[in-house]
């Protein structure tokens, strides 16, 4: 009638602790109880900050690769005020498409700085391989209840790269109603960006100048005694500078976003967003150009691109999450349109499948389709007059893209979360009806870009 603990001194307490952890999926913890008399027993220190960290690696085949580290810290204060700080550091290296068209012959391009040149082999898409940048970004956001059912939030953003500075502020007001099952929010944000590219900002449709300080140049010695960048090749520098408008330029972005979230039932939640974004200022990419081709499709010159100095973007977004008995599905759709005549559709879906109480896999599928900007063209033809605006940047041309990915997440025995994500991303630029003369018909003007994304996340 009694337990057998005398002859077999099993530690029942320890055995139960393990069994309880298995049942609840928790980590074993210590309870603190104090008698009426001894209230001064050790109190558990409040874990004040929650951290999330992630490391992401992105690599396009033969092109850009990026490494990104993110650390996010969040603290909740007594009256449900939340402070969120996020630091992002990324480093970008590799080659990116310049906009120039592939040719049946070798092409020589001046580096953006004007100091040196590089060559692109026949039939290859010209890529500028001088891409190298490190970006440090800091976001701070403060959120707190303002009044019954009202939550306010305000934040600042600063992002600095070698040649780029972005400063931003944002504010958001959320109103809960219908028993907190519905939330309406309105958010405003404003960004001020300054671009100071290496080599300055080129004039619209200026011809790519010759390199003036080629490393193979015989005139590469500076006259130090003079204290100035005096080289024998100063005429080359003057020619280069003649293609430059200024050293730096600005753009501003003002966004407004309206959002409505509705809890349908215990298993389902939906969200609808509308956003309006107005960008003004310098919207060109100073490193992008267009090939000016003759009637045989052979490049005669390379001209810097020119885009309008304002853009108005609008988008609508709908998202639904549904929690099945086991799985969670998350589907969203976005429609974006702007006054550059770009419109895009994005469908994004994730399905979280628990493998056990402490782990899951999550397949991810994303499909993206966009139409070309009205001034997009893969090259300029000599037979036509130069248009007011033109860009051969494939990112504003017609394209479809898709992402296929898989994430594996697990809860570690200490209660922290660890996850791994691996994705394949493919961009397929399309011809939006441009006739390719002569040699251009033989080369790939719309080269696909393959990329791999790998991410490790850890929250503690």
Partner 1 sequence: MKKKPVRQVEITATDDGHCLSFHAMASPCEVLVVSKNNKLALTLGKLVADEVWRIEDKYSRYQASSVCSAINNSGGQALAIDQETYLLLNFAETCYQLSNGVFDITSGVLRQVWQFDGSDNIPHDTEVQKSLENIGWHKIAFDEQQIIMPDNMALDFGGIGKEYAVDRAMIIANEFTQLPLLVNLGGDLAANKPRKTNVPWQVGIEHPGFIERKPMVVSLLKGALATSGDAKRFLFKDNVRYSHILNAKTGWPVVQAPRSITVVAPQCIQAGILATLALMQGPQAEKFLTEQEIKFWAIR
Given the rule CB under 8 A, which residues bind partner 1? 1-5, 10-13, 15-17, 19-20, 22-26, 28-36, 39-44, 46, 76, 79-80, 145, 148-149, 176, 180, 266, 325, 354, 356-357
Which of residues 44 and 383 has its CB atom nearest to partner 1 in the complex?
44
Which of residues 47 and 383 has its CB atom nearest to partner 1 in the complex?
47
Give DSSP secondary structure letters for 103-160.
-SS-EEEE-TTSS-EEEE-TTS--EEEEEEEEEEEEEEEEEEEEETTEEEEEEEEEEE
Which of residues 15 and 122 has its CB atom nearest to partner 1 in the complex?
15
Q: Is the dihedral of CA 98, 102, 103, 105 positive or negative?
A: positive
CB of 421 to partner 1, least distance (A): 23
Q: E strand or H helix at 409, and its extent? A: strand 399-411
CB of 54 to partner 1, least distance (A): 21
CA–CA separation, 401 and 200 (whole Å): 33
Is residue 407 a contact partner of residue 417, using CB atoms and an 8 Å limit? Answer: no
CB of 51 to partner 1, least distance (A): 14
CA–CA separation, 425 and 454 (whole Å): 11
CA–CA separation, 415 and 51 (whole Å): 13
| Order of strands across the sheet that contains 380-381 | 299-304, 289-293, 380-381
CB of 83 to partner 1, least distance (A): 13
The neighbour count for residue 41, using CB atoms within 10 Å, is 9
CB of 82 to partner 1, least distance (A): 10
Which of residues 8 and 383 has its CB atom nearest to partner 1 in the complex?
8
CB of 199 to partner 1, least distance (A): 51
CB of 7 to partner 1, least distance (A): 11
CA–CA separation, 110 and 287 (whole Å): 11
Q: Which two tokens stand for residue 418?
A: 């660890």
Which of residues 147 and 216 has its CB atom nearest to partner 1 in the complex?
147
Going by the DSSP 8-state scheme, the letter that residue 296 receives in this structure is T
CA–CA separation, 316 and 257 (whole Å): 10
Provide the residue count of the chain.
460
Which of residues 176 and 330 has its CB atom nearest to partner 1 in the complex?
176
Which of residues 79 and 384 has its CB atom nearest to partner 1 in the complex?
79
Q: Which two tokens stand for residue 57?
A: 């690696």
CB of 100 to partner 1, least distance (A): 54
CB of 335 to partner 1, least distance (A): 33
CA–CA separation, 309 and 320 (whole Å): 36
CA–CA separation, 254 and 244 (whole Å): 28
CA–CA separation, 449 and 97 (whole Å): 10
Which of residues 31 and 227 has its CB atom nearest to partner 1 in the complex?
31
CA–CA separation, 150 and 176 (whole Å): 7
CB of 360 to partner 1, least distance (A): 12
Q: Which two tokens stand for residue 426?
A: 């493919």
Is residue 338 a contact partner of residue 312, using CB atoms and an 8 Å limit? Answer: yes
CB of 263 to partner 1, least distance (A): 11
Cβ neighbors of 267 (< 8 A, separation 6 or more) are 322, 323, 324
CB of 45 to partner 1, least distance (A): 9
Which of residues 31 and 225 has its CB atom nearest to partner 1 in the complex?
31
Cβ neighbors of 379 (< 8 A, separation 6 or more) are 101, 290, 291, 292, 293, 299, 392, 434, 440, 445
Cβ neighbors of 314 (< 8 A, separation 6 or more) are 274, 275, 276, 277, 336, 337, 338
Which of residues 21 and 234 has its CB atom nearest to partner 1 in the complex?
21
């Amino acid at each position: 009638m009694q337990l057998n603990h005398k002859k077999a001194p099993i530690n029942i307490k320890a055995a139960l602790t393990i069994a309880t952890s298995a049942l609840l999926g928790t980590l074993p913890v210590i309870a603190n109880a104090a008698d009426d008399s001894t209230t001064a027993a050790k109190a558990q220190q409040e874990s004040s900050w929650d951290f999330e960290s992630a490391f992401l690696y992105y690599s396009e085949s033969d092109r850009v690769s990026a490494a990104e580290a993110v650390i996010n810290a969040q603290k909740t204060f007594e009256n449900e005020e939340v402070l969120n700080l996020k630091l992002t550091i990324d480093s970008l290296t590799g080659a990116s498409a310049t906009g120039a068209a592939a040719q049946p012959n070798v092409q020589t391009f001046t580096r953006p700085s004007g100091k040196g040149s590089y060559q692109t082999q026949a039939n290859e898409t010209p890529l500028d391989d001088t891409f190298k940048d490190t970006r440090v970004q800091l976001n701070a956001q403060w959120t707190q209840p303002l009044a019954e059912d009202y939550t306010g939030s305000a934040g600042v953003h600063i992002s600095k790269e070698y040649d780029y500075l972005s400063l931003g502020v944002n504010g958001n007001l959320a109103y809960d109603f219908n028993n907190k099952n519905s939330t309406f929010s309105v958010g405003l944000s404003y960004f001020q960006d300054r671009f100071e590219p290496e080599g300055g900002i080129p004039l619209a449709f200026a011809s790519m100048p010759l390199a003036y300080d080629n490393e193979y140049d015989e005139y590469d010695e500076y006259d130090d005694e003079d204290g100035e960048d005096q080289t024998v090749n100063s005429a080359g520098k003057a020619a280069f500078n003649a293609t430059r408008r200024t050293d730096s330029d600005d753009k501003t972005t003002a966004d407004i976003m309206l959002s409505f979230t509705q809890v349908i039932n215990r298993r389902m939640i939906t969200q609808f967003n509308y956003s309006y974004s107005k960008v003004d200022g310098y919207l060109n990419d100073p490193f992008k150009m267009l090939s000016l081709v003759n009637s045989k499709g052979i490049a005669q010159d390379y001209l810097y691109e020119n885009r309008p100095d304002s853009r108005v973007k609008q988008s609508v977004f709908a998202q639904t999450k549904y929690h099945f008995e086991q799985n969670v599905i998350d589907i969203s759709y976005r429609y974006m349109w702007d006054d550059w005549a770009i419109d895009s559709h994005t469908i994004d879906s994730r399905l979280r499948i628990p493998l056990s109480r402490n782990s899951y896999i999550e397949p991810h599928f994303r499909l993206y389709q966009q139409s070309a900007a009205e001034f997009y063209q893969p090259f300029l033809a000599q037979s036509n007059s130069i248009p007011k605006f033109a860009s051969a940047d494939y990112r504003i041309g017609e394209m479809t893209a898709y992402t296929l990915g898989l994430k594996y997440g697990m809860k570690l025995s200490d209660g922290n979360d660890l996850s791994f994500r691996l994705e394949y991303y493919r961009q397929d630029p399309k011809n939006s009806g441009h006739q390719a003369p002569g040699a251009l018909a033989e080369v790939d003007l719309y080269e696909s870009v393959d990329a791999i994304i790998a991410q490790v996340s850890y929250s503690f």
